[in-house]
Structures are given as C-alpha cells and as structure tokens.
C-alpha cells in the first residue's frame, strides 16, 4: 500500500543525519512511497510562517533532493533544540512566557497533509516527542542520534565515533606542544551528563587523567597524578575533562538555561584550570573543543550506521511497527519500544572493562 511518510531531525545536529535522510528517502522510493521533510524539528509545522524564505516549513524529498549528501555533516532539513512541541514557549502580551503542548496540532496537520507515518531522528528529547505522538495514534519510528552516545537500548548512536575521532586527533596534537612548553593541557569535550566521548578519546589519545560525570573527581588525586609524572621526568600532562564532570562535593558547571531549552553545560575545564593553579605552580591551559566535535564529515562507520538505521526505520514502518526506535544490537539493527528509551540515560558503567583498561594502563580518573 502506498504511503506518505514525514521525516524530522531534532535536537543538536550530529554527523550522519544526512545519511539517514538519504537512506529513508531511497528506501521509501523503492516502495513508491512519498517523503515529506519537516524543517527545523517540528517548527516547520508549528511555525510555518518562519520558513517563508525557504518556500515553506515542509518540502517533498525525492531521490534528486538527497543526491550526494551521505558524507555531509549537518542536516538538509535543519534542526533545533528550541520549540519542543511538548513544552512550546508562548510569549504573552504582558511579556510573560508559558509552555503549551502542541502535539495535537502536529497530528491534525499530518492528517490534513495525508501523512501516514513519521520517522523522527533525534536524541532523548525527540524520542520523548515521538513516543507521545505514537501514543496519540500516529505511526512513529524513532532513529537515535547523538554524539553523546547516551541513548538507552542502542549500543551506539551515529555521530559518536566522528566526535571521538576528532577529539582524539586534537589530543594527539596537544601532546607535542604540552611537552615543548612543559604545561598541563586540559581538553574539555562534550557529552552532557555522560562521559563516553571523554572516556573513548581520552584512552585512545593516551591522556594522563580522564574526568567523567560518572566519577566525581578529587582535585588532590589529579594533582598527585601530575606530580607523579613530574617526578618520573614527564614535565607535562594531558587531562581530558567531560563538560559534565564535577568535583567531589561540587556540582556540574552550567552556563545557563533559556525557556524551552535544556540546561547549557560549560565551564568544567575552566574550573579545573583554577583548581590546579591554586594547588601547584604549573602553567595550565585549556582547550574547549565545543561544536567542532559536531561538525564535519561523518566517519565511514557513522555513515554506515546512519544508512542502516534509515533503511531499518522504513522497513519497520512497512512491517506495521509503531512507537519503536531502531537500535544497534550487533550484528543486528532491531526495534525497541520507545517507552524503554525515554526518560533514561545510558551513562558509562563504572565497573566496565573499558574503565578497568584505562586504570590498568595508568590513566587516573581523579578518584
Ligand atoms: O547533545 C549534543 C550536544 O552537543 C552536547 O554534547 C552538548 O552539551 C549540547 O549538545 C550543546 O548544545 P547546543 O549546541 O545547543 O549548545
């Protein structure tokens, strides 16, 4: 039976989004289905007037519109972390702001546009929206995306490997300059409340200390590691700190929060520079990798995972599944209920083999 499916990309972008879009569109085309892309998450539907300069908030996606995009970062649909339809911000005439649930509007607009199903590509926030829409009767399949790798029920999300590859490259480059100047170099990486990027890039880049949100650090132990290296003749140290890392008896460093948006993390590295320089006389410099980790081309593995997720999502729709997310369970891509994904977070298990490996090769977690 012919179908029309909508595709949306929500939350922070991740390398591989375009590969998913292309895979969905080509797989749907093989079945003679039509694809409609929604611009900037669901904003293309909820605030269509904002997209006049793009010719509207939605666009038909054909094999022609997705040609040559597999290797490109970003998303041809645009994305946003503002305008969550479950908590949509409304500014009142007196300047006050409140949040309303606009998911019913999405369902009715889809129905008037003849859309039968939705493929929602995103992180935890997008999966929650997808779950609510599915509960309201829309056929929905989620596709997990995030450089943070913190989504439950999938071994990996695309974008993570690309971010780790980039961060590792940066750590590699910092070794020679850290050694030349006999400095402590701190590298702050993204990941929100999960330490996956810090852990993987820190081990691969042979950092001396890795500070994770999952293991609050003791500054004395960090200093001890730097001093041990000094005594052994290595007059420089590399510390990788996750943006969500926190000192023992301290808190996560936060920049702020705007209405309808997630808390913005930042400042963990800066705090650590001050703490180290307070304890020892050692020049300490900070590099915050920030959004560089989200940009650029996806690695071959991330492209492959994204293409597999896109095609699997279309197969799931063809098989009549709804309220599910496609997930990597090597060697398979399966579907898992969205209810088992939302409102949870996959953090680094502190008793894992990879943490033990780091300890075995002398990396300190500041504990
Ligand atoms: O979730 C992906 C991510 O890059 C996090 O690692 C980071 O904390 C956040 O998004 C940054 O979001 P924004 O681009 O909105 O500042």
Strand, helix or coil for residue 38: strand
Return the pLDDT at 231.
Answer: 97
Please, which pLDDT band fits residue 60 given cuts at 50, 70 and 90? Answer: very high
Q: Is 14 in the pocket of ligand 1 (CB under 6 A)?
A: no
Query: Rg of the chain over CA atoms, in angstroms?
Result: 22
Distance CA 248, CA 246 (A): 7
Instruction: Check: CB of residue 77 under 8 Å from CB of residue 40.
Output: yes
User: At residue 258, does pLDDT exceed 80?
Assistant: no
Distance CA 311, CA 27 (A): 6
| Global confidence as pTM | 0.96
Atom of ligand 1 nearest to the CA of 243: 8
Mean pLDDT of 32-39: 98
Please, which pLDDT band fits residue 313 given cuts at 50, 70 and 90? Answer: very high
**Which of 202, 223, 185 is CA-nearest to residue 366?**
223
- Residue 237 CA, ligand 1 centroid: distance in Å: 27
- Residue 79 CA, ligand 1 centroid: distance in Å: 12
What is the 8-class DSSP label of residue 339? G
Q: Is 253 in the pocket of ligand 1 (CB under 6 A)?
A: no
Atom of ligand 1 nearest to the CA of 147: 2
Residue 248's CB is within 10 A of a number of other CB atoms, namely: 13
Per-residue pLDDT tens over the stretch 92-120: 999 888 899 999 999 999 999 999 999 99
Assigned architecture for domain 4-158+298-330: 3-Layer(aba) Sandwich (3.40)
| Mean pLDDT rounded to a whole number for the chain | 96
Please, which pLDDT band fits residue 192 given cuts at 50, 70 and 90? Answer: very high
Domain ranges of the chain: 4-158+298-330, 163-294+349-360
Return the pLDDT at 347.
Answer: 98
- Residue 316 CA, ligand 1 centroid: distance in Å: 29
User: At residue 15, does pLDDT exceed 80?
Assistant: yes
Mean pLDDT of 121-144: 97
Q: Is 294 in the pocket of ligand 1 (CB under 6 A)?
A: yes
Return the pLDDT at 360.
Answer: 98
201: tokens are: 């890039």
- Residue 158 CA, ligand 1 centroid: distance in Å: 15
Atom of ligand 1 nearest to the CA of 123: 1
Return the pLDDT at 358.
Answer: 98
User: At residue 260, does pLDDT exceed 90?
Assistant: no
Q: Is 150 in the pocket of ligand 1 (CB under 6 A)?
A: no
User: At residue 352, does pLDDT exceed 90?
Assistant: yes
Q: Which of 148, 150, 188, 213 to mutate to test the pocket of ligand 1 (most atoms within 8 A of CB)?
A: 148
Q: Is 148 in the pocket of ligand 1 (CB under 6 A)?
A: yes
The reply to whether domains 4-158+298-330 and 163-294+349-360 share a CATH topology is: yes
The helix (H) or strand (E) run that includes residue 198 is helix 196-204
- Residue 278 CA, ligand 1 centroid: distance in Å: 30
Sign of CA dihedral 40, 44, 48, 54: positive
Return the pLDDT at 350.
Answer: 96
In CATH, which of 3.40.50.460, 3.30.930.10, 2.40.30.10, 3.10.180.10 is domain 163-294+349-360?
3.40.50.460
Return the pLDDT at 89.
Answer: 87
Please, which pLDDT band fits residue 257 given cuts at 50, 70 and 90? Answer: confident
User: At residue 259, does pLDDT exceed 90?
Assistant: no
Please, which pLDDT band fits residue 276 given cuts at 50, 70 and 90? Answer: very high
User: At residue 291, does pLDDT exceed 80?
Assistant: yes
- Residue 34 CA, ligand 1 centroid: distance in Å: 32
Return the pLDDT at 82.
Answer: 87
User: At residue 213, does pLDDT exceed 80?
Assistant: yes
Per-residue pLDDT tens over the stretch 61-71: 999 999 999 99
Return the pLDDT at 120.
Answer: 98
Q: Which of 145, 160, 190, 289 to mutate to test the pocket of ligand 1 (most atoms within 8 A of CB)?
A: 190
Please, which pLDDT band fits residue 13 given cuts at 50, 70 and 90? Answer: very high
Atom 8 of ligand 1: nearest residue by CA position: 192
Return the pLDDT at 162.
Answer: 98
Distance CA 4, CA 316 (A): 14
Return the pLDDT at 91.
Answer: 87
Strand, helix or coil for residue 347: coil
């Amino acid at each position: 039976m012919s179908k029309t499916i909508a595709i949306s990309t929500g939350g922070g972008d991740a390398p591989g989004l375009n590969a998913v879009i292309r895979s969905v569109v080509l797989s749907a085309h093989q079945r003679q289905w039509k694809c409609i892309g929604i611009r900037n998450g669901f904003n293309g539907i909820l605030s269509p007037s904002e997209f006049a300069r793009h010719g509207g908030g939605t666009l038909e996606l054909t094999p022609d519109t997705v040609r040559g995009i597999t290797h490109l970062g970003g998303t041809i649909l645009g994305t946003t972390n503002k305008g969550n339809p479950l908590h949509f911000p409304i500014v009142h005439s007196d300047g006050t702001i409140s949040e309303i649930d606009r998911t019913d509007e999405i369902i009715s607009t889809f129905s008037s546009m003849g859309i039968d199903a939705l493929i929602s590509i995103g992180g935890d926030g997008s999966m929650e929206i997808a779950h609510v829409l599915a509960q309201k009767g829309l056929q929905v399949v989620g596709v997990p995306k995030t450089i943070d790798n913190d989504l439950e029920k999938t071994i990996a999300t695309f974008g993570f490997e690309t971010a780790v590859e980039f961060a590792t490259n940066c750590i590699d480059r910092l070794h020679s300059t850290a050694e030349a100047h006999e400095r402590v170099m701190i590298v702050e990486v993204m990941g929100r409340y999960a330490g996956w990027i810090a852990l993987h890039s820190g081990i691969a880049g042979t950092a001396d200390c890795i500070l994770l949100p999952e293991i609050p650090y003791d500054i004395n132990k960090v200093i001890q590691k730097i001093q041990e290296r000094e005594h052994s003749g290595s007059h420089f140290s590399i510390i990788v700190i996750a943006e969500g890392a926190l000192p023992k008896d301290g808190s996560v460093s936060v920049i702020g929060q705007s209405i309808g948006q997630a808390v913005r993390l930042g400042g963990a590295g800066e705090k650590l520079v001050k703490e180290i320089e307070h304890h020892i006389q050692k020049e300490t410099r900070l590099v915050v990798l920030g959004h560089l980790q989200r940009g650029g081309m996806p690695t071959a593995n991330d492209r492959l995972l994204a293409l597999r997720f896109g095609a699997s999502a279309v197969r799931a729709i063809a098989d009549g599944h709804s309220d599910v997310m496609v997930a990597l369970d090597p060697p398979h891509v399966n579907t898992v209920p969205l209810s088992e994904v939302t409102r949870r977070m996959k953090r680094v298990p502190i008793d894992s083999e990879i943490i033990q490996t780091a300890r075995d090769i002398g990396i300190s977690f500041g504990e």
